[in-house]
Amino acid sequence: MGIGKNRIIHSILALAIVSTAAMAAPKKQPLTVWIMPNGASPQEILEKRLELYTKKTNIPTKVEVLDWGEAWTRISQALAGQTPAPDVLQLGTTWIPYFASRKEIKPLNEYLSSIQPERFVPVSWNTTHIDEDSIIYSIPWFIDIRPVLANKRILAEHGITRDSIRTYEGFKNAIRKVNSKDEVLDDGAHVRGFAFPGKSDWNIPHNFAPWIWSNGGSFIKKDENGKWHANILSKETLLGISSYLHFIMDTLVTPEALQTNTAQIAQQFNNGELAFIVSTSEIVMQTRFHGSMGGLSNARIGRDSVMVFPIPKGKVGSVSFIGGSNLAIPTNNNRKEAIDLLLFLSNDENLDAYTKQIGLLPPSRKVLQEWAKDEDYNILVRALETGRAYVAIPEWGELEQLLVAMFSAIWEQMEIPSLYSEDKLYETFHQYSIEIDKKLNYPTTNLMTAAEFKAAWNKINEEQKPQTEVAKDSTDGAINSNMKKAPFVFVFMLVFGFLFAFIRKRKK
């Protein structure tokens, strides 16, 4: 019995030792990932991909979604060491140079053999570092390219084809066609050709960009010494700005649209109230999923079907706005697993699977070749060749805020005709050109004068006059015709009255 008892005691002690050791063994800390709301269910979509990582490595992960409105502040505080930082985080492509210049995100050059830069399309890879710097700070995650999206049903009813809107003038004429019919939907909403958000919208510089770039202009430009400076008051940039303003000036877009934001305009398009918008490509993918999955297949745009077109050609071609997001690691993070997770998220398999869920383009050449087999995405992939992203400089974030303020001021003038004048327009462009130069530490010299601006602006506006007019109201036409005839009728009646009186006098 003694021996049996000893055995039992020894077994209990062994179990206790094993249990204690197991409890004492450190648990693997989860790897945290911060993202923004990409797609309809951003957290669930990424967590599904990360389940594969956990299964492979036995390392748990945790996803936190930051609203775009709070993301800049939260990320700035975390990267500055004021609050706990994640292991991997999403950064908008224009944010990379700012945080890189502050040395708050980790250089990745030692991992380039694993990253394989040649995998990525140039327009996306160029956002991974500061302009003309060889140090890489991030890996491309997805591309936000903004084409013209169209309602297929509306276009078919008006006989509008791809060739119809290939050019800026053709695009305007197509909008006129839709507007002139004034279709009313069963819910009482009127169908318009085109609309876009106005003042204070968070996308306002993005909305102006394709029209400016397609006409050879730019927000900033390098001088002969390679120094960046404001380029607002150049003839090419003014032509691009004027092209966009003329959608309002030519009454193709109602001034009421300038009170809306991007989300509201997208909702109008999804409701079938707009023939065209310029927006993110995620709407294309959303029309292929039911509303229960965060899609639009059961919405009016899903039933009408969406079509994709390049930005209408300007003076130098069709240039789309390109943005997107990259993945980076905080400088103070020393976990080797963070690099492993970064490489996992940016491999071709995950780039393909993730972007298919959110509807934005993958940055991988190989994956894009597969996507290009889809008719709509083929247009987007080809547009990447001529598309353009913002300049990758640390000051861009502040410059973008100045551009938001400048274009908002312009829309305020356009919204209320009594506020609009060439003098005020020049004053706005001149003021913000100086502000931009200050941010770039550039001495402002040789800006276009007010007289030069008026001459250039008047010439541009003369060229922007509609080449094809929509037929005016017949009543107005009759009134105008009668007004033109009135002087001749008056003379005729005067002469007739004189002759009549003369004849009567002779008869007497």
Contact status, residue 323 vs residue 389, Cβ threshold 8 Å: yes
Provide the token pair at 63: 């996803």
State how far the Cα of 11 lies from the Cα of 449, in Å rounded to an integer: 94
State how far the Cα of 344 lies from the Cα of 358, in Å rounded to an integer: 18
CA nearest neighbour of 318 among 222, 462, 210: 210
Sign of CA dihedral 117, 123, 128, 131: positive
State how far the Cα of 415 lies from the Cα of 424, in Å rounded to an integer: 14
CA nearest neighbour of 171 among 242, 69, 244: 244
Provide the token pair at 309: 């077109």
The predicted model scores a pTM of 0.85
State how far the Cα of 360 lies from the Cα of 119, in Å rounded to an integer: 18
Query: In one letter, which amino acid is 324?
Result: G
| Alpha helices in 58-197, H assignment, sequence order | 68-79, 96-101, 112-115, 122-125, 152-157, 168-181
| Structure-token match 């003309």, residue found | 132
State how far the Cα of 218 lies from the Cα of 389, in Å rounded to an integer: 11
Predicted confidence pLDDT, tens digits, the chain (508 residues)? 455 555 555 555 555 444 444 444 456 899 999 999 998 788 999 999 999 999 999 999 999 999 988 999 999 999 999 999 999 999 999 999 999 999 999 999 999 999 999 999 999 999 999 998 999 999 999 999 999 999 999 999 999 999 999 999 999 999 999 999 999 999 999 999 999 999 878 899 999 999 999 999 999 999 999 999 999 999 999 999 999 999 999 999 999 999 999 999 999 999 999 999 999 999 999 999 888 888 899 999 999 999 999 999 999 999 999 999 999 999 999 999 999 999 999 999 999 999 999 999 999 999 999 999 999 999 999 999 999 999 999 999 999 999 999 999 999 988 887 778 999 999 999 999 999 999 999 999 889 999 999 999 999 998 887 654 443 333 333 334 433 443 443 344 444 444 444 434 444 4
Bridging pattern class, strands 148-151 and 306-309: antiparallel
State how far the Cα of 374 lies from the Cα of 356, in Å rounded to an integer: 12
| Structure-token match 């509008």, residue found | 160
Hey, how many other C-beta atoms are within 10 angstroms of the C-beta on 452? 13
Q: Output the CA–CA distances (angstroms, integers) from residue 444 to 62, 193, 233, in the order listed.
A: 49, 41, 12
State how far the Cα of 428 lies from the Cα of 167, in Å rounded to an integer: 29
DSSP string, 78-114: HHTTSS---SEEEEEGGGHHHHHHTT-B---GGGHHH
Provide the token pair at 452: 């030069």
Provide the token pair at 266: 């997208």
Contact status, residue 312 vs residue 171, Cβ threshold 8 Å: yes
Provide the token pair at 245: 């303003």
| Structure-token match 């004048």, residue found | 421
State how far the Cα of 93 lies from the Cα of 96, in Å rounded to an integer: 6
CA nearest neighbour of 367 among 105, 124, 81: 124
State how far the Cα of 36 lies from the Cα of 38, in Å rounded to an integer: 6
Contact status, residue 74 vs residue 99, Cβ threshold 8 Å: no
